[in-house]
A = this chain, B = another copy of it.
Amino acid sequence: MRENLGAPVRLGQAICYSALSPGKRLRPLLVLTACEAVGGDWRRALPAAAALECVHAFSLVHDDLPAMDDDDFRRGRATTHRKYGEALAILAGDALLAFAFEELTRLAIREVRPARVLGCILRLADASGSAYLMAGQALDLEFEGKPVTRGDVLRIHLRKTGALLGAAMAVGAIVGGGSARQVEDLDRAGMRLGLAFQIQDDLLNAGSTLGALGKRAGTDAKRGKATFPRAVGEVRARSEAAAFLSGARDLIAHCARPARLLQLMDVIAERDR
């Protein structure tokens, strides 16, 4: 392999700033606990956990750009483009996406079979691409300021949030040696969990303050973002979130060691910030 020349200093700083920001690391934790749930050793899934967090960080950096959501704060600090400028923010995001796939190939070093590693790469590429993550953001921008139905919000949330949480759990199950059925069930569970998570996010944005949330609150309403509470009201949004979480829990009932995954799912769906 060719010598790794490393990133130029400022680009490297922008990448680290983006990837190592004080987030909750929910996606990597989902990878590890899903791996354990199907009976695997979570340590082998560490490169996949890193990959999922990189894709998440990439999507936040690009979503925050002035041409997109134009956010100045994220996780209690200036967004990457506010600190390093737009050009480096775009490049740092790009590099994080490429790095995610590089990192997944390292699963093979941990004795995950190459065919299974390819399965992980396909899941993550699919979830990060034009059908899911990018589609979600495109729809999100498209619907800004327009009236939305429950179906519209579901379409957006499934793509923007559900797909990556599904991929996180599916990838964990693949690395852990799960059966094809388990992998699909955990993918679907992650999608449902993603919906519960995103509805909670919508509710928090509507009610929280900058201090508690680490990013500006009330921004969704101001921009006319497609949110669940806007489509169905707060009360029904809360009950739907609970139903999605319960559906997600049911899907992993047949796993061998689901305790820590279940615990994490509850924390994710019911977080207060």
Given known pairs A94-B62, A94-B94, A131-B6, the reply for A126 and B138 (CB within 8 Å) is no
Secondary structure call for the A interface:
helix
Docked complex Cα distance between A104 and B93 (Å): 21
Docked complex Cα distance between A104 and B8 (Å): 28
Selected from B68, B90, B125, B187, the residue in CB contact (under 8 A) with A2 is B187
Are A8 and B117 touching (Cβ within 8 A)?
A: no
Contact with B along A113-138 (1 / 0, CB 8 A): 11101100110111011111111011
Are A102 and B117 touching (Cβ within 8 A)?
A: no
Q: How far is the CB of A94 from chain B (nearest CB, A)?
A: 5
Are A115 and B108 touching (Cβ within 8 A)?
A: yes
Docked complex Cα distance between A139 and B10 (Å): 10
Docked complex Cα distance between A68 and B133 (Å): 23
Are B122 and A105 touching (Cβ within 8 A)?
A: yes
Asked if A235 is at the interface (CB within 8 A of a chain B CB), the reply is no
B residues in contact with A184, CB < 8 Å? 2
Report the count of interface residues on A (CB-CB < 8 A): 63
Asked if A262 is at the interface (CB within 8 A of a chain B CB), the reply is no
Given known pairs A68-B90, A86-B67, A90-B65, the reply for A7 and B131 (CB within 8 Å) is yes
Asked if A141 is at the interface (CB within 8 A of a chain B CB), the reply is yes
B residues in contact with A85, CB < 8 Å? 67
Asked if A148 is at the interface (CB within 8 A of a chain B CB), the reply is no
Given known pairs A117-B118, A118-B117, A125-B105, the reply for A98 and B134 (CB within 8 Å) is yes
> Looking across the interface, which residue of chain B has its beta carbon closest to that of A107?
B118
> Looking across the interface, which residue of chain B has its beta carbon closest to that of A6?
B131
Docked complex Cα distance between A94 and B135 (Å): 11
Docked complex Cα distance between A60 and B16 (Å): 24
Asked if A147 is at the interface (CB within 8 A of a chain B CB), the reply is no
Docked complex Cα distance between A11 and B104 (Å): 27
Asked if A88 is at the interface (CB within 8 A of a chain B CB), the reply is yes
Are A102 and B126 touching (Cβ within 8 A)?
A: yes
Q: Which residues of A contact B (CB under 8 A)?
A: 1-2, 4-8, 10-12, 15, 58, 62, 65, 67-68, 85-88, 90-95, 97-99, 101-102, 104-105, 108, 113-115, 117-118, 121-122, 124-126, 128-135, 137-139, 141-142, 159, 166, 184, 187-188, 191
Offer 16 A-B interface pairs, CB within 8 angstroms, sorted by A.
A4-B126, A6-B131, A10-B138, A11-B134, A11-B138, A58-B94, A67-B87, A93-B94, A98-B133, A99-B129, A101-B101, A102-B126, A102-B129, A104-B121, A114-B114, A114-B117
